[in-house]
Structure 1
Amino acid sequence: MTASIPVFPRKVRLAQTTSLILLALALGGCASQKDTIKTGSVSASAVQLETMSASELERVERTFGRAYENNPKDRGAGLRYAQILAMTGKHTQALAVMQQVVIAHPRDREVLAAYGKAQAAAGQLEQALETIRRAQTPDRPDWRLYSAEGAVLDQLGRSNEARQKYRMALDAKPNEPSVMSNLGMSYVLSGDLRTAETYMRSAAQQPAADSRVRQNLALVVGLQGRFAEAEEIAKRELTQQQADANVAYLRSMLAQQNSWAKLSDNKAKPKTAAN
């Protein structure tokens, strides 16, 4: 993630932080990678949005906001507008947009998946789980939906069920870095940082791994007290400004959670066996 969409939120507990990161990874891939929407002079794909600065996001938000207002039933404009709203922390508004889009497209799997994402981000976890499961079809299972379902289950504290879903996703899409990253984050949520790092490193080594996966690896390494190494990972493939911002967020989060004290306690504990 870039400086404008930090992967390290501030002033939150570890479980809240990692579950939000995990959810973003799980559901971010639900939109088609080929889905590039053009409105006026703006062309915004999912990847492009993740690399935009705050001012660029504001401009794109206004553009897609106007497109959505002109036609609330427009599937593409609604999906992208809700995504941008979520990326800028406007989860309640994003959910309201997706409620309108899903009314117009009640059987569209991508729309249902995005609606589930909006519900989860707004704290409606049980509803999100139901929506994501409704989007899934047994005859044509979607690995992205399995991963999304796992992310919500992790937030509900049902880690064993969540990991089963991640493994189902990996059966359908072997070595998919976003799923491997989510599986690693599942172990972070349960406090097993060393097992989490194993999955995160494997995810980061995949050819398709993106910056979000590598930044999550930096988080896991930093939480274990290896901050210089975490900084080095956080700085890779980013501009200096983006890298400095991500490192600043990482420092802030670790400091505010008193993570060094927690890590000292954890070092004395035996490693939890992976499921």
Structure 2
Amino acid sequence: MPVHLASAKTRLLVGVCLAIATASASGCATKPSQMTTGSIPKFSKPIEQMDSAELNVAADQAGRAYDKAPTNPQVGITYANLLLMSGKNDQALAVMQRVAIANPKNSSVLAAYGKTQAAAGQFDQALASIQRAQTPDRPDWKLFSAEGAVLDQLGRPDEARERYRNALDIVPNEPSVLSNLGMSYLLTGDLKTAESYLRTAIAQPAADSRVRQNLALVVGLQGRFDEAINIAQRELTKEQADANVAYLKQMLNQQGTWKKLAKNG
């Protein structure tokens, strides 16, 4: 598999891991000393907007809550999400494995466990966990989106896109789902369709920097580098913008990447 496609899959998966988190990761700031056993730490901003230093502080706070209540579903999910954001996929998997053993019928736990399995490269196991978490009588759009992301990892794009559309039937114009759908088309080299979905996603009020970064990638892969950098930098802090541009340059500096994809577009 070309390196650029592997990286794109990682981007899609990270977005899903964050999008279907069930524990609150935002709200009023809470000092560690204010936490009680089993309580969920609260942070001053959503974790996807944190820089690396803020992620480290939040992960340390969540880790101490997890030490006090290692089988608490919401505490475990919060901690695992922070570990995923910090690139500690194996540790996140270990956390969710312990929580899943203690809560074998909790659908939120199964869903989060599936996402950490996928982040660790255990795609077949991840698909099974996510499908077990889904309930036919009350289907969850977040689980449809997560299932789609794993199916894309497994090279089954038609099935993946069907799951994304199932999710969009429940929540029309949800930006995280539209972004994943766009990235699905990126993975098969259809950059024009990918851009169309990502532009629709970024136009939604709830769209965040992950959607913007995915759009910047697709635009850049079509050779529109200045436009891509402008998208990557828009409405972000300097550190977030610099990180987005660094990622974009890393992807686009691979010789011939966008030309190879453009031939398939």
TM-score calculated relative to the size of structure 1:
0.86
- Shift in Å at residue 244 of structure 1? 2.1
Distance 1:268 1:24 in 2: 27
Q: Which position in structure 1 is the counterpart of 2:201? A: 203
Q: Which position in structure 2 is the counterpart of 1:99? A: 97
- Shift in Å at residue 120 of structure 1? 0.3
| Structure 1 unaligned blocks of 5 or more | 1-11
Distance 1:69 1:151 in 2: 31
Q: Which position in structure 2 is the counterpart of 1:263? A: 258
Distance 1:135 1:90 in 2: 24
Specify the SS of the correspondent of 2:158.
helix
Match of 2:63 among 52, 60, 65: 65
Match of 1:13 among 3, 7, 10: 3
Maintained 8 Å contact 2:130/2:147: yes
The letter of the residue matching 1:264 is K
Distance 2:4 2:185 in 1: 12
Q: Which position in structure 1 is the counterpart of 2:146? A: 148
**Equivalences, count:** 255
Distance 2:6 2:262 in 1: 22
Identity %: 56
Distance 1:35 1:251 in 2: 30
Larger RCO (alpha carbons 8 Å, 6+ apart): 1
**69-78 vs 129-138, which moves further:** 69-78
Maintained 8 Å contact 1:112/1:131: yes
Specify the SS of the correspondent of 2:42.
strand
Q: Deviations over 1:126-180 (max 9, x none)?
A: 0000000000000000011001000000000001110111111111111111111
Specify the SS of the correspondent of 1:238.
coil
The letter of the residue matching 1:170 is L
Q: Which position in structure 2 is the counterpart of 1:44? A: 43
How is 1:26-41 mapped onto 2 (pairs within 5 angstroms)? Answer: 26-32=16-22, 34=24, 36=26, 39-40=32-33
Q: Which position in structure 2 is the counterpart of 1:9? A: none
- Shift in Å at residue 268 of structure 1? 5.2
TM-score calculated relative to the size of structure 2:
0.90
